[in-house]
Structure 1
């Protein structure tokens, strides 16, 4: 499997989501968002998981937008803030309310420990891909050659340190948030040991 085997959706909505992510995310966070989509689609292909490419792509591009200063909320966890941004983005894209809600749900659920594939395939895939990219969870699920190709095309650019700083900041200001829970459960150790950074 190579990146050429994976479908990168080219709809106007996907191009707009990439434009938003490119405008607001750091280079490391942007590459993380793209890799999140790529890892998810590769996993879906290997496991015959049907999913909505446009919905997953938009969710992947915006899933961490709540970590950037322009959209950081002092009242809700970053994934909920990101879900709200996705809802507003979807409204601007002309999506019906139900599809806006789905994008918001996928982004909120990416911080869950697990989402059953039959309940929400897009969230299931985003949980897999983001936990792989941030914490190095289950890297051998994807072929080594594909991992190397993706990392060469979309390098990590110091993502681990940047992401950990974001989570520590979130934890300090929002002690009941999922980011705070991740900090308490040792995400720093997992990020430091991520095999994708070796």
Structure 2
């Protein structure tokens, strides 16, 4: 039986079920519930704004958006968003999804932590970012009805200490690759988490380059 929360149907097709099984087995309950809430917040935003989007692809993209933080990637040299995007691409290729849609999911995951760009792209790219940002930092949460938010939180609660715990999850997934945080919000995470972390500065890189002038 299909599960409906705040008026949104949770996708339950073969691809959605496979994505759920793969991510649920790899992530903590905190991160898994975060993804479910992000999907619901993103879908509600999309319907409220009358955007055309594929709910199942949105679901898959949000399921995989933090996959790059998992232990499997603790020695990866890439940004965690790229690892998650690559994992989603591999998953969707196994399910014979057309390349154009796979590329869109890849971009949505890769850019979900990049402020100011996703909202100007396709609905899928915009809604992955919107859903994640609403759950993590409360961006645009007041645009949703209180009843909708409450129903989502009742179904998939934010556990006690969620704010600090999700920062910890981000940090543990990136502390071995601090250079990948340059120019991103991820630098804020390691700056708070690791007392030995030193930010790269764009102006410093320019002035300290090998060019003579």
CA RMSD of aligned residues (A): 2.2
Question: 1:134 corresponds to which residue?
Answer: 136
Structure 1: tracts of 5 or more residues without a match:
188-198
Q: Structure 2 matches for 1:50-89, cutoff 5 A? A: 50-89=52-91
Distance in 1 (alpha carbons) for counterparts of 2:63 and 2:108: 12
Q: Structure 2 matches for 1:2-41, cutoff 5 A? A: 3-41=5-43
Deviations 1:66-101 (A, max 9, x none): 111123453011100000100110111122332222
Question: 1:196 corresponds to which residue?
Answer: none
- Conserved in 2, the CA contact under 8 Å of 1:29 and 1:159? no
Structure 2: tracts of 5 or more residues without a match:
194-213
> Greater share of helix residues, 1 or 2?
1
Provide runs of 4+ in structure 1 moved above 3 Å.
115-118, 184-187
Query: 1:162 aligned to 162, 165, 169, which one?
Result: 165
Distance change >3 Å, CA 168–CA 7, structure 1 → 2:
same
TM-score using structure 1 length: 0.84
Deviations 1:109-150 (A, max 9, x none): 111103355621111111111111111222201111111111
Distance in 1 (alpha carbons) for counterparts of 2:61 and 2:68: 12
Question: 1:183 corresponds to which residue?
Answer: 189
Distance in 1 (alpha carbons) for counterparts of 2:34 and 2:185: 17
Q: 1:10 is paired with a residue of what secondary structure?
A: coil
Distance change >3 Å, CA 127–CA 73, structure 1 → 2:
farther
How many residues are treated as equivalent by the alignment? Answer: 186
The structure with more radius of gyration: 2
TM-score using structure 2 length: 0.79
Query: 2:117 aligned to 115, 118, 140, which one?
Result: 115
